[in-house]
Amino acid sequence: MALTPKQSGKLIADLAKHVKIQKEGIIKLGNVLVEEINSGRLTVNNFSQNEFHPKPEDPWALDWLFVVDTLNFCFWHPENREGWVVNGKSGYFALCNAINRALKEKVDILNPRFYSTITEEQLSKIFRSDTKAKIPLLSERLKSLHEAGMCLLEKFDGSFENCVKQANNSAVDLLRIITDNFKCYRDECMYKDNKVSFYKRAQILVGDIWACFRNNGIGHFKDIDEITMFADYRVPQSLLYFDVLKYSDELMQVLKEQTILENGSDMEAEIRGCSIHAVTLLNEYVKELIDKDKIVNSILIDHFLWDFRRKHNKEIVQKKLPFHKTFCIYY
């Protein structure tokens, strides 16, 4: 049985050779977060994803979130190549635009009876780009949709809502239901003889439900603080920027050479695991300092760091803070 993401983050941070968490960085970024939260600038209502995501009153909101997060991985492209773009947006927002465009075109993309048997040609049309570039890992996305759709039909009467209800407002239980039943969400590896987990997409699915429903009704989770940050390839850049993380010279050289890291390799696991533990430490630091009527958790901090990387990309590039490159379905 794998350690939880929170346990995995601590273990990896304790043993890591190539990535270190710096206390002074925790304090520096922590103070920024305290100001952002106390001022009201950092709240669930201000997430950049909100304009692309469904509203809580949309009857298909849960189905949309499940389909999008089942497909939410690997959008980066080599710097010398054209990227995948939909309606002027790249990356995750391009995915949202593609699914929303399909819905406007009356494609039954939120129905597991449809997407469990969708063809590569149909999926390719849904993901058609403004550019000549194709979405990365199309065949893996097709496989993920087939697996997820079949599982919903066989185990949950064709409804993701049944998964959420089965969790009884527990984020931890919903995370377990997702990772136990949907293979494409089982983001695990071996690190120094320990089976660790990151569960980036499974946790972001729980976090998206929490954010969409503003922690009310079916989106209320009594243990939401157990969800960690979503270990991807962009948030660590923001943690580097604020000196929360420090990479070894060897790792920096590997990244600057544009080396593709193997999913599950020590360097990749250390970046992801230390990111998780760093945000857990930030969460604990900020909790002690924010106004009592304010909310903080790892989801809010993750969104701040993800948005920060997008808004300050030029500065991050100028500082030569690279992101690690991995081709996989987990982030």
Q: Express each pLDDT in 80-96 by its tens digit.
A: 788 999 999 999 999 99
Tell me the pTM: 0.95
55 class by beta-carbon count within 10 Å (0-12 exposed, 13-18 middle, 19+ buried): exposed
What residue ranges of the chain have pLDDT lower than 70? none
Q: What is the model's pLDDT at position 48?
A: 87
The whole-angstrom separation of Cα 325 and Cα 328 is 10
Of residues 27, 315, 94, 66, the one with CA closest to residue 202: 66
CA distance 233 to 224: 23
pLDDT 10s digits, 15-32? 999 999 999 999 999 999
Task: Answer for the pair 229, 301: CB distance below 8 angstroms, yes or no.
Answer: yes
**pLDDT tens, residue by residue, 202-228:** 999 999 999 999 999 999 999 999 999
Catalytic residues: 232
pLDDT recorded at residue 86:
98
Give the pLDDT of residue 81.
86
Which of 176, 197, 213, 196 has its CA nearest to residue 50?
Answer: 213
Quick check: 309 and 232 in contact, CB under 8 A?
no
Locate 203 and state its tokens: 């946790």
According to DSSP, the residues that pair with 191 across neighbouring strands are 194
For residue 100, the model assigns a pLDDT of 98
- Interatomic CA distance for residues 59 and 107, integer angstroms: 17
